[in-house]
A and B are shown apart, each in its own frame.
Chain A
């Protein structure tokens, strides 16, 4: 991208413009990518749910496909910021801003999403895991933008859920837990994805928690509890206005258990 390291990409602008107004960022160049055609879509093809990077949050919220097949994304889409902000805020922006308090990063980690980036040296695909490097830092290069977010297509016996705890609607989360669950034909956990919001420098993939349920029935309360505990162990929150660190850690446990139970209900209903 021309303008070098100092340039910033303007997508929906709902995170960037507030930063500019408060003069927390002062790029010499803003590159408005809203004019790039063909980056607003939500569709399933080639084994993936594909979302164009400029897809607005409001479009996620309104999408039947998302509501019916990817409720974990729908859960977030109705609670990100507020409806007016969601009209402009984009999927790509929410992810590439690298804010651990944003909701989609944790969900993408739970869903094992892939991100397609385009830049000077062409196109490349990255896994969600490893993409979130540090607070406000992602694996994107300065000369790259996200173009597509792809999520493995939902299988029939899968279900997901996103729960976050807020002091007030529209506030940054105290903590959030994204859970995506796939069952085998015997009703046992085949795959579990757990992503955490606002409890560390980046969104967190709670890998030990993900492993803990493999091959187990979802009626096993002890196992479910163990997932919650392991998710809490993966969290490294800090104390701030939204609550003390130990409380947030506990909330990761509570939210993960609740989210897992809801994901299970949905999986039993065929994802809904």
Chain B
């Protein structure tokens, strides 16, 4: 993309923290996250919106951050891999990937986990087929996917259990 140097002001909440920045309109969200904000967990694996390594959540929806302009997230909330763990405790999806060997080189992993996160928000107990379809926009070259599916199943089970526990009133 070519562009002039005119800049636009944006205010974005990323992983719960508010950021103000002046950016070129053509700046991609992924570059804004990685280079302006210095959060390098979100990766770039292609330039045709196919690989999903850059997947983040914008207002709760999974998007490919290489296919969104930073200016489009003005006033929105962004969640990246760095925002998954809370208070030093891993998110069940992170636990699942670790427990079930859902990663090898780790490059697709953040995007894969964010896609899984979005999937489980919509569908808390997906079938294997639904998981496979749910991550079909995320390419992995190392794992052959079986262990990624198991990782997401692990996370789904764990999240369901946590939910049930919350429903049981404390005695």
Contacts and interface: CB of A to CB of B under 8 A. Distances in A.
Q: Do any beta carbons of A and B sit within 8 angstroms of each other in the complex?
A: yes
Interface of A: 10, 13-14, 17-18, 20-23, 26, 30, 32, 34, 58, 78, 81-85, 87-88, 169-170
A18 B49 contact: yes
A17 B50 contact: no
A21 B1 contact: yes
A70 to B, nearest CB: 21
A14 B115 CA distance: 17
B12 interface: no
Interface in B21-77: 25-26, 28, 47-50, 52, 55, 61-64, 66-69, 71-72
A61 to B, nearest CB: 10
A21 B65 CA distance: 13
In the A-B complex, the 10 residue pairs with the closest CB atoms = A82-B137, A84-B137, A20-B1, A87-B61, A17-B67, A84-B62, A18-B49, A82-B136, A26-B2, A169-B136
A88 B61 CA distance: 9
B138 interface: yes
B30 to A, nearest CB: 11
B136 A88 contact: no
Given A81-B137, A83-B62, A83-B137, A23 B72 contact: no
16 contacts: A10-B69, A10-B72, A17-B28, A21-B1, A21-B28, A21-B66, A23-B1, A26-B1, A83-B118, A83-B119, A83-B133, A83-B137, A84-B62, A84-B115, A85-B67, A87-B62
Given A14-B49, A23-B1, A26-B2, A85 B137 contact: yes
Interface residues of B, number: 29
A85 B1 contact: no
Nearest to B49: A18
Nearest to B56: A84
B124 interface: no
Interface of B: 1-2, 25-26, 28, 47-50, 52, 55, 61-64, 66-69, 71-72, 115, 118-119, 133-134, 136-138
A21 B69 contact: no
Contacts of B136: 82-83, 169-170
B10 to A, nearest CB: 12
Given A21-B47, A23-B2, 8 more contacts: A17-B49, A17-B68, A26-B1, A82-B137, A83-B62, A84-B62, A84-B137, A170-B136
Contacts of A88: 61, 63, 67-68
B60 to A, nearest CB: 10
A84 B138 contact: yes
B155 to A, nearest CB: 17
A81 B138 CA distance: 11
B25 A84 contact: no
A209 B136 CA distance: 34
Contacts of B47: 18, 21-22
B9 to A, nearest CB: 15
A123 B112 CA distance: 43
Contacts of B134: 83
Contacts of A169: 133, 136
A82 to B, nearest CB: 3
A170 B115 CA distance: 15
B137 A13 contact: no
Given A34-B72, A170-B136, A83 B67 contact: no
A14 B67 contact: yes
Nearest to B68: A13
Contacts of A34: 72
Contacts of B64: 84-85
